[in-house]
Structure 1
Amino acid sequence: MLKNRLYVYGDDVVGVPSHLNFGQYMVTTMWNHGDKTAMINGITHERLTYRDIVKDAMNIAISLTRIGVKRGDIVAICSENRQEYWSAFIGTSCTGATFTATNSAYTQDELQHVLNISKPKMIFCSQLAYKAHEKTLRSLSYMEKIIIFGTDRLPNTLSYNDLVNHTNITLETFRAADVVGQTDTAVILYSSGTTGLPKGVMLTHLNILTTCNVSSTMNPKQPSLTITPWYHTMGLMGNLRILASGSYFVYLPKFECELYLRTIERYQIVQIIVAPPVLVALCKYESKYDVSSVQLVYSGAAPLRSDTINAVKVRFPNVTSVLQGYGMTESTLGVTRDTYDKAHLSKIGSVGRAVSGCTIKVVDIETKVPLGVNQPGEIYVKGSLVMKGYIGKNRSEDFDDEGFFKTGDIGYYDEDGCFFIVDRLKELIKYKGYQVPPAEIEAVLLQHPSVRDVGVVGIPHADAGEVPRAYVVLQPEANVTEDEIKNLVKQKLSNPKHLRGGVQFVKEIPKNPSGKILRRKLREMSQIKNEARSKL
């Protein structure tokens, strides 16, 4: 067999343990890091060591097994970022059961939707999450036990602290349950739901072991600051990679410019991991905190434009590299990326090169024929990072005959194998046969000093099919008219990209935790506005 000259291949070598058990791998790896600090809460300043996490994880595994959890079961978590999270995650994996992470800020209907996908028999809850969702959790027939974090004892629940209160267990006396790592589902996460309802993404032990063992994205000798919630793949898998490397990270439960910059100063953070909207907000926020320690910025979840990169270098004067990566929940995090040790090879606007164990092709949107260098099309990916499939959905709907996953993202690669993302296939605005990328219009509007944030969607039009409409968040006390916004786009972009759908000023742009714009919510806002007009 010969390699296809139109495919892009990552390196073939990825070292994973022969037992292919993600839980056992993390227990062994983290135990060997000893009493080093693993993570710090940037608000409470509480530190957790590697041994702290592993000891609790092993005790959780033993306790869950004693109360009936086994291979094939599903155990959920519903909690804000807090110290017990990682032991619950790794301990569950050691039992052979599948771990699923949910958003504690979900509404009742949203939580019920994702739990009905996975149907867990047990769930770990913070007290805040339990208070918000007790009624929903009690209504689920498949939910057998609820385990509560914290010191308070609540009726008809189990205490997490009781489950970790065992004898002084060591690595030598512990062994995780056997699994079939290539096919057993280790984690169920939920797709971002930017264009529709979330789907259950099944990630195997091999998927997670692969992402933990590809070469380090960030410098493992330097501290990082992270704000992404851990129920999201960027937070869960990204921080898991840090823990596997033996480094440590500082985490914040929420993003606020003032808090974020203060945390950088206090902990002399060298590396920050953020989505583009966070970078835009930081670059436009005035403060006097010392952020000279920051040397590396890593961005994901959406394309980072060159003007934002230039602004980052002004905000963080000692930054030597602004790197990007591209991935999704379905690929256990990144399939292309820049790395700290090869930062000199990165190109402005590129999301990096194919990672180890991954093959990528770009196909024509209509014919599905593979395309060559500098030809935009839909990105297809294949390899040991790519999910097993969606729960309850036929695999053939999302994979082609060669086993490539259809990402739904539009992009291309250049002669050096560097990838560039254009937009989401489902988010392209169809104006009179033209394919209009919303991200291109957004990038232009963000150049305006009075624009703090923006989201663009297509709205129905009788003659044109769809026309672009911009939702704009202005800087405080800014005074900009709709015509000014429209004229900026007219000056910078070609005719099909003009804002024929108008401009609407809003207080915020709806986003998921990784920073992706929830365009379905913007479309819902458009529909509500149009319905209101029709009633007048």
Structure 2
Amino acid sequence: MVNFQGGTIRTRDDLERFESEMTLDERLPERSILDVFKASAALYPTSTAITMLMTGAQDERPRQLNYDQLLGMIHSAANVFSTLGGPAPGVAYMLPSLIETYATLWGAETAGYAVPINFLLQTESIAELIKASEAKILVALGPHPQLDIWERALELRKQIPGLILIRVSPPGTPAEEGIIDLGTALAEQPDDHLIFGEPRGGSDVAAYFHTGGTTGVPKLVAHTHRSQLVSAFGGAALCGYTSEDVMTATLPLFHVAGTIVAGLSAFMTGVELVVMSPSGLRNPAIVEGFWRLVAQHKVTLVGGVPTALGAVLQVPVGNNDISALRTGLTGAALLPPAVGARFKEVTGCHLHEILGMTESSGLVSIDPLSSVGSIGSVGWALPYTQVDILRLNEDGSLGAPCATDEIGVIVIQGDHITPGYRDPKHNEGVIEAGRLISGDLGYKDAQGQIYVAGRSKDLIIRSGHNIDPTMIENAMATHPSVALAAAVGMPDAYAGELPVCFVELLPDADLCVEDLHQYAQSMIDERPAWPKLIQIVDAIPLTSVGKIFKPSLRCEISKQKVLDLLQNELEIADARVEAVAGGPRGMRVTVTISKDHRASLSKLETTLAEFLFEARVQIG
């Protein structure tokens, strides 16, 4: 069984001692994902593994599953998939967060491999993902009054010959010809053993997660059983999870954060997950009742992306007793300082940041949850892994390790790194000689803690959703009147960034911004990637070799954003704003206000703290 002995990890010395006392293999003898659930069922058979809230209503009686029952469901699901799909089948799923989703994910990995799908993507993109992964089975939510998942699943079956369709629906839902009901199929299989022999494990592929833009050939990242186990073990160790913990589960199970640090890591240690409705914090009722539910279920760990946590922090705690809460954790996007400060103010607890990547099987580093917490840091690398900050040379190659506080490229090594993408050509420049070149810029302080300072890949991260700007640019460039397009992230207090697009038109083109918005929406599959703002400019800035120079565009849109905020929200019309690229947070914005607005200084500083850039306010 997994061995976490060695004391709580709070400091770098604790981490080094933890690594020196035992080898990784001694601490982590499990070979397969199923081994984790077997061990947890042996240790905590009657302890609650999952509490499933459907509505969050005050009088709701949630569905609960203990660890012994969860293991039984995983056995049954694996047997279903093996029976239907043969040896090592690929099992794709389009499901919100349900108990059946957990059983599907871990059952698929036990029998073959899982292909988690973001059901908010366009049908065409999902079809490409399923084809590229060669999944034989699709598990999808049945007919639903608000979600069109089932209708799209039926369309996918038409597009992909031989695709086996399994429906997840409430008991009593009328049968459909040619459709397999998951509940019925589970009941027909044994839940105390596997009928097909040994489970998948070791270097076997456990899952393919999609990442980046999904236009063209999908980028599918391979996870092995070993990579997920090492990542989950590191997450559990640095988070200091125990079987006494109760954790909010608000992240979707098509995302590595929801499946690893808020999933497998928790299950390794007997944590109770409170699934806050199928749609998590996208459910307004859950947001409104969040603190009541935290109190009701005696939650000890609150987790979520910064934007979602920012929303629940606007809801008063009121008379709800949240004294059981010991800390919070967040990731998927950089944490605005104001959200961290507000969390401390509301709960009395620190909000710890996590750095993760799909290519690292979910996790890179964690600000240890048992420590006092570090402002702005994503903590230390997982145990038994290595994170280096390397200099970025002028030719784009990587150089020597950076000095303390020197910004460079974050590079990761360890058994949790993916063996590669499904399509090997995507490995170039990302997976090299067993190391992961993250594309993130960062630095280490004197204690070795990691800080993220920006992204060398120019990704736009909107509420934890990675948007490849090339996808937007390529779509816009197909318009017959567009000469050049450049997409960048515009700072946003809620989402972190929103996609905007600068467009240079061909000479004599007669086109308005509204026409461009309509064109973008017709050409870009991912709704979150639709540009929030499109600006027609005379010329897009280029480097000496003809590449688009995006730092100046980011600075320009940031300057516009702050000027708009000053004039329309704070009624300061005569301020000067300067935005420059660089610094520890990737951009520095300096606002100069006149003496007449001295009284607005504090409010302005508070407002600018909501953004991810480094802000300075001065009077002059």
Give the TM-score normalised by the residue count of structure 2: 0.67
1:92 to 77, 102, 108: 108
Q: Give the Cα separation in 2 of the matches to 1:489 and 1:200.
A: 46
Structure 1 stretch 328-337 or stretch 283-292: which is displaced more?
A: 283-292
Residue 207 (structure 2) aligns with:
187
1:324 to 353, 358, 364: 353
Residue 350 (structure 1) aligns with:
377
* Pairing 1:413–2:444 present: yes
User: Which residue type is aligned with residue 97 of structure 2?
Assistant: N
Q: How many residues matched?
A: 469
What secondary structure is seen at the aligned counterpart in 2 of 1:251?
A: strand
Q: Give the Cα separation in 1 of the matches to 2:138 and 2:382.
A: 34
* Pairing 1:425–2:456 present: yes
Question: 1:78-157, aligned counterparts within 5 Å?
Answer: 78-95=94-111, 97-128=112-143, 129-151=149-171, 152=173, 153-157=175-179
* Pairing 1:288–2:312 present: no
Query: Which entry has the higher C-alpha Rg, 1 or 2?
Result: 2
What secondary structure is seen at the aligned counterpart in 1 of 2:227?
A: helix
User: Which residue type is aligned with residue 455 of structure 1?
Assistant: L
User: Which residue type is aligned with residue 170 of structure 2?
Assistant: G
Q: Give the Cα separation in 1 of the matches to 2:422 and 2:213.
A: 15
1:53 to 70, 80, 93: 70
Whether contact under 8 Å (1:119, 1:143) holds in the other structure is: no
* Pairing 1:455–2:498 present: yes
Q: Give the Cα separation in 1 of the matches to 2:576 and 2:247.
A: 37
Cα drift, residue 462 of structure 1: 3.4
Q: Which deviations, in whole Å up to 9, do the C-alpha atoms of 1:340-365 show, x marking residues without a partner?
A: 23x13x32111000111211222223
Residue 3 (structure 2) aligns with:
none
User: Which residue type is aligned with residue 254 of structure 2?
Assistant: Y
* Pairing 1:26–2:37 present: yes
Question: 1:196-275, aligned counterparts within 5 Å?
Answer: 199-214=219-234, 215-220=237-242, 221-238=244-261, 239-252=263-276, 253-255=279-281, 256=284, 257-275=287-305
Cα drift, residue 385 of structure 1: 0.8
Q: Which deviations, in whole Å up to 9, do the C-alpha atoms of 1:397-452 show, x marking residues without a partner?
A: 0446542111111111112110000122122899xxxxxxx88x84xx74xxxx78
Residue 339 (structure 1) aligns with:
368
What secondary structure is seen at the aligned counterpart in 2 of 1:240?
A: helix
Question: 1:289-308, aligned counterparts within 5 Å?
Answer: 290=320, 292-293=322-323, 294-308=325-339
What secondary structure is seen at the aligned counterpart in 2 of 1:100?
A: strand
User: Which residue type is aligned with residue 462 of structure 1?
Assistant: I
Q: Give the Cα separation in 2 of the matches to 1:259 and 1:29.
A: 31
C-alpha spacing 1:265/1:394, structure 2 compared with 1 (3 Å)? same
Question: 1:492-531, aligned counterparts within 5 Å?
Answer: none
Cα drift, residue 472 of structure 1: 10
Q: Give the Cα separation in 2 of the matches to 1:164 and 1:428.
A: 41
2:183 to 143, 161, 178: 161
Structure 1 stretch 58-67 or stretch 121-130: which is displaced more?
A: 58-67
Q: Give the Cα separation in 2 of the matches to 1:125 and 1:106.
A: 14
C-alpha spacing 1:486/1:236, structure 2 compared with 1 (3 Å)? farther
Residue 92 (structure 2) aligns with:
76
Q: Give the Cα separation in 1 of the matches to 2:44 and 2:305.
A: 29
Higher relative contact order by CA 8 Å / sep ≥ 6: 1 or 2? 1
Whether contact under 8 Å (1:195, 1:426) holds in the other structure is: no
Q: Give the Cα separation in 1 of the matches to 2:42 and 2:311.
A: 38
Unpaired segments ≥5 residues, structure 1:
1-7, 431-437, 500-516, 518-536
C-alpha spacing 1:185/1:314, structure 2 compared with 1 (3 Å)? same
Whether contact under 8 Å (2:79, 2:189) holds in the other structure is: no
Q: Give the Cα separation in 2 of the matches to 1:30 and 1:192.
A: 36
C-alpha spacing 1:197/1:262, structure 2 compared with 1 (3 Å)? farther
Q: Give the Cα separation in 2 of the matches to 1:125 and 1:31.
A: 31
2:83 to 42, 66, 83: 66
1:481 to 560, 565, 568: 568
Whether contact under 8 Å (1:39, 1:47) holds in the other structure is: yes
C-alpha spacing 1:263/1:209, structure 2 compared with 1 (3 Å)? same
What secondary structure is seen at the aligned counterpart in 2 of 1:389?
A: coil
Q: Which deviations, in whole Å up to 9, do the C-alpha atoms of 1:276-305 show, x marking residues without a partner?
A: 112322334456362633330111112224
Q: Give the Cα separation in 2 of the matches to 1:195 and 1:420.
A: 31
Cα drift, residue 381 of structure 1: 0.8
Q: Give the Cα separation in 1 of the matches to 2:100 and 2:431.
A: 40
* Aligned-residue CA RMSD (Å): 3.7
Q: Give the Cα separation in 1 of the matches to 2:214 and 2:444.
A: 25
Whether contact under 8 Å (1:284, 1:452) holds in the other structure is: no
What secondary structure is seen at the aligned counterpart in 2 of 1:112?
A: helix
Q: Give the Cα separation in 1 of the matches to 2:79 and 2:67.
A: 19
Q: Which deviations, in whole Å up to 9, do the C-alpha atoms of 1:139-180 show, x marking residues without a partner?
A: 212513434443322221112122222476436x87852546
Q: Which deviations, in whole Å up to 9, do the C-alpha atoms of 1:352-387 show, x marking residues without a partner?
A: 001112112222233410222211111111111111
C-alpha spacing 1:17/1:296, structure 2 compared with 1 (3 Å)? closer
Residue 506 (structure 1) aligns with:
none
Q: Give the Cα separation in 2 of the matches to 1:472 and 1:275.
A: 26
Q: Give the Cα separation in 1 of the matches to 2:578 and 2:48.
A: 52
Q: Which deviations, in whole Å up to 9, do the C-alpha atoms of 1:61-102 show, x marking residues without a partner?
A: 22333334213x21111111111112222222222x111111
Instruction: Give aligned-pair identity as a percent.
Output: 17
Structure 1 stretch 205-214 or stretch 229-238: which is displaced more?
A: 205-214
Residue 508 (structure 1) aligns with:
none
Cα drift, residue 59 of structure 1: 1.9
Unpaired segments ≥5 residues, structure 2:
1-14, 144-148, 461-468, 470-487, 504-538, 543-548, 591-611, 613-620
Whether contact under 8 Å (2:336, 2:496) holds in the other structure is: no
Q: Give the Cα separation in 2 of the matches to 1:349 and 1:286.
A: 25
User: Which residue type is aligned with residue 420 of structure 2?
Assistant: G
